[in-house]
Amino acid sequence: MKIAVLPGDGIGPEIVAQAVKVLEALRSDGLKIEMEHAHIGGAGYDAAKDPLPEATLDLSKASDAVLLGAVGGYQYDNLPRPMRPEQGLLRIRKGLGLFANLRPAMVYPELVNASTLRSDIVSGLDIMILRELTGDIYFGQPRGIRTLENGERQGFDTMHYSESEVRRVAHVGFQIAMKRNKKLCSVDKANVLDTSMFWREIVTEVAKEYPQVALSHMYVDNAAMQLVRAPKQFDVILTGNIFGDILSDEASMLTGSIGMLPSASLDESNKGLYEPCHGSAPDIAGKDIANPLATILSVAMMMQYSFGRADIAQRIEAAVRKVLQQGLRTGDIYEEGKQKVGCAAMGDAVVAAL
Amino acid sequence: MKIAVLPGDGIGPEIVAQAVKVLEALRSDGLKIEMEHAHIGGAGYDAAKDPLPEATLDLSKASDAVLLGAVGGYQYDNLPRPMRPEQGLLRIRKGLGLFANLRPAMVYPELVNASTLRSDIVSGLDIMILRELTGDIYFGQPRGIRTLENGERQGFDTMHYSESEVRRVAHVGFQIAMKRNKKLCSVDKANVLDTSMFWREIVTEVAKEYPQVALSHMYVDNAAMQLVRAPKQFDVILTGNIFGDILSDEASMLTGSIGMLPSASLDESNKGLYEPCHGSAPDIAGKDIANPLATILSVAMMMQYSFGRADIAQRIEAAVRKVLQQGLRTGDIYEEGKQKVGCAAMGDAVVAAL
Ligand SMILES: CC(C)[C@H](C(=O)O)[C@@H](O)C(=O)O
Ligand SMILES: CC(C)[C@H](C(=O)O)[C@@H](O)C(=O)O
């Protein structure tokens, strides 16, 4: 298991350090794990004037999986766009062909009070959002700022999806649904967008190969409402890059504990990049108070999806559940009566529970 | 006050009938109100094979304001797209130049329990979402389904905003903020989209003319999260057509009582179209159980924005508050201990309270 480790910026290094402890513990247990570190985001810019240095992309290509912390920091906010940290993220996704972004939104029984929603609405919540990650308006050409015939300026972008792009992510969606509750809701805006009308046509075609999965379609505005109204109606949500960006963040916040949510971004052969859903939180960086559990749970996803080791994934998830049951909490998920611990102590506790 | 009345489909006719009662009551009070009815949506298709018959657009152009119910119904779901009810909506917006869509999301103290969010998170919520309504990817050309060089098909759309489009809606946003808590949050995806980068540049420029308004910028994914996490942080949210579609629906659902939320869509000279935020609810149409309050509150917005009669708007709003305080509830906002009433009875109660 050759793993590229890209800590990135802000709290990235400290949360990734805890996930690395978990990987090291698994190695002492006998797993053949090799890790190599490289820079991305602001750290890439600082080291090599590039948010995705060539060496980082090369290392990632040569690895079986990538573990990423987070990117972004105030000091990079005024750089020209191509130098900004998030460009590193967009480029590594595209560069590795990571078209399938899996973002679970689940509520741990121990943390149900962290949600801003009523507990009857969210307790037991367990949704998987599958967001297409290398197409759509994120990468469509032409785009830019142009001058119209009447002399005024206009900003523009192109949204598009080709048949093969929709088809491959739809297959991933149906396959995930088959392993879960066999319900797939495809989200689009087919009453307005041609891209969405096409998306819906292809998803409906692919569905014929998965007769056991109940497929539904929902407009994105309605999906944004239904996630607030009754999120437990969903099993797997399949959607494009931009709608997925919005809906997966909304869904993650329903749980109230975004510090607990991992993600996986996979290519055609299940090589993947694994990162927490949350950002680089520069305001709390270096203070040993960040929550490393989303990053540790990203290692669990890595074991499951890239290395086919669902057994190890379950061990890691069980260890995380155990520390929660022991009452350990980082500041973001703290509630009265529990024991507040720092980032490193939380990492150690998970290793001990493992 | 010349008002075009377009009941539309589903519950449209019955909720609009209650709003018309309110207008008639105001007329008996001395207001010079003229009303004329016309078809839109499925009703337009049934009457004239067109979701926006020419007569309807002509009447609307010749009126000072338009009162709309809702459009859409199962029987129209399989029509070719140009014949679908929602095309009537898109075309009347564009045809009347209704670029500024105001969608308040507020929680009535009497209805705070209707929300799926904890009451501490939403009680007292009062946000105004200003969505640009005649530009963006909704109307951008080119769009369609094309065949690529490699022979595969691709769906595509164009997102764009010109300087004058952003400028005029930004002015509306700052003016609304001036009358409220002087906070405007502009929502975009400027870390990815060129259209958004341009949007942000122009909004920032317009802000210089409103030094008393505190302007902030937020990415749309973060906004979708913040609406769930801490919606009361917002005063006015300004955003484009597609992001506004998603965020305004999300925000309306935070209140839990979408049957209470009106909307206004204004042109350059405050001529407007007024409609409830909710849809045509075909499943409960004709049963006299729909909630007419959002439509009645849309008349209040009409009085305020198109006719400059904030005094009458307040009278209508006070009447609605009064029936809530009396304990009257339609089914959608019913809770134990209150008195359940039908659509027509609710309309009568508001007229009585007026
Ligand atoms: C940082 C940004 C470019 C990125 C995205 O929009 O994809 C982020 O929001 C995410 O969801 O990973
Ligand atoms: C029906 C649909 C075309 C419309 C839109 O997307 O604008 C609706 O969702 C709305 O928000 O009024």
Cβ-based neighbours of B49, under 8 Å, separated by 6 or more: B83
Give the number of whichever ligand sits closest to the CA of residue B132.
2
Helices (H), chain A: 12-28, 42-48, 54-62, 85-96, 119-122, 163-179, 194-207, 220-229, 241-254, 293-305, 310-325, 343-353
How far apart are alpha carbons A296 and A307 in whole angstroms?
16
A137 annotated among ligand-binding-site residues: no
Which CATH number does B1-104+258-354 carry?
3.40.718.10
Determine whether the shortest distance from the Cβ of B64 to ligand 2 is under 6 A.
no
Contact B172, B205 (CB under 8 A): no
**b/e map of B61-75 (b: 16 or more CB within 10 Å)?**
eebbbbbbbbbbbee
Instruction: Give the DSSP letter string of A52-114.
Output: S-HHHHHHHHHSSEEEEEE---GGGTTS-GGGSHHHHHHHHHHHHT--EEEEEEE--GGGGGG
Distance B49 CA to ligand 2 centre (A): 21
Residue whose CB lies within 8 A of the most ligand 1 atoms, among A245, A252, A277, for a mutation test? A245
Question: In whole numbers, what is the pLDDT of chain B averaged over residues?
Answer: 97
How do residues A176-198 score in pLDDT, each as one tens digit? 999 999 999 999 999 999 999 99
**b/e map of A138-158 (b: 16 or more CB within 10 Å)?**
bbbeebeeeeeeeeebbbbbb
Query: What single DSSP character describes residue B29?
Result: T
Residue B153 reports pLDDT greater than 90:
yes
Q: CB neighbours (10 Å) of residue B191?
A: 17
How do residues A3-44 score in pLDDT, each as one tens digit? 999 999 999 999 999 999 999 999 999 999 999 999 999 999
How do residues A100-118 score in pLDDT, each as one tens digit? 999 999 999 999 999 999 9
Would the CB atoms of A196 and B155 count as touching at under 8 Å? yes
Do B1-104+258-354 and B116-255 agree at the fold level? yes
Beta strands in chain B (DSSP E): 2-8, 34-37, 65-70, 100-106, 126-132, 144-147, 153-162, 183-188, 214-219, 236-239, 262-266, 272-276, 328-329, 339-340
Contact B3, B35 (CB under 8 A): yes
**pLDDT at res. B77:** 86
Q: Work out the average pLDDT over B236-263.
A: 96
CATH 3.40.718.10 assigned to domain B116-255? The reply is yes
Q: Quote the minimal CA–CA distance from B110 to chain A in Å.
A: 18
Phi/psi-derived region of residue B92, left when phi > 0, alpha when psi is between -120 and 50, beta in every other case:
alpha
Q: Work out the average pLDDT over B291-314.
A: 97
Give B100's pLDDT tier (boundaries 50, 70, 90). very high
Structure tokens at B299: 């008349």
Residue for token pair 């069980």: A318
Share of chain B above pLDDT 70, in %: 100
Q: Which CATH class is domain A1-106+261-354?
A: alpha beta
Task: Tell me the whole-structure pTM to 2 decimals.
Answer: 0.96
Query: What single DSSP character describes residue B18?
Result: H
Rg (alpha carbons) of chain B, rounded to whole number: 20
Determine whether the shortest distance from the Cβ of B245 to ligand 2 is under 6 A.
yes
Q: Which among A156, A161, A197 has the least Cβ separation from residue B159?
A: A156
Rg (alpha carbons) of chain A, rounded to whole number: 20
How far apart are alpha carbons A176 and B158 in whole angstroms?
32
Distance B51 CA to ligand 1 centre (A): 38
Phi/psi-derived region of residue A334, left when phi > 0, alpha when psi is between -120 and 50, beta in every other case:
beta
Determine whether the shortest distance from the Cβ of A221 to ligand 2 is under 6 A.
yes
Structure tokens at A213: 């999965």
Would the CB atoms of B228 and A228 count as touching at under 8 Å? yes
Name the residues of B annotated as catalytic: 138, 189, 221, 245, 249
Task: Please name the CATH architecture into which domain A126-254 falls.
Answer: 3-Layer(aba) Sandwich (3.40)
Structure tokens at A111: 């943390």
Give B36's pLDDT tier (boundaries 50, 70, 90). very high
Sign of CA dihedral A239, A245, A246, A251: positive
Residue A159 reports pLDDT greater than 90:
yes
**pLDDT at res. B244:** 98
Atom of ligand 2 nearest to the CA of B93: 7
Phi/psi-derived region of residue B136, left when phi > 0, alpha when psi is between -120 and 50, beta in every other case:
left
Sign of CA dihedral B115, B117, B121, B127: negative
How do residues B65-97 score in pLDDT, each as one tens digit? 999 999 999 999 889 999 999 999 999 999 999
Would the CB atoms of B145 and A198 count as touching at under 8 Å? yes
Give A77's pLDDT tier (boundaries 50, 70, 90). confident
DSSP H or E segment with residue B249: helix B241-255
Share of chain A above pLDDT 90, in %: 99
A229 annotated among ligand-binding-site residues: no
Residue whose CB lies within 8 A of the most ligand 2 atoms, among B101, B133, B245, B261, for a mutation test? B245
**Segments making up each domain of chain A, as ranges:** 1-106+261-354, 126-254
Distance B245 CA to ligand 2 centre (A): 7
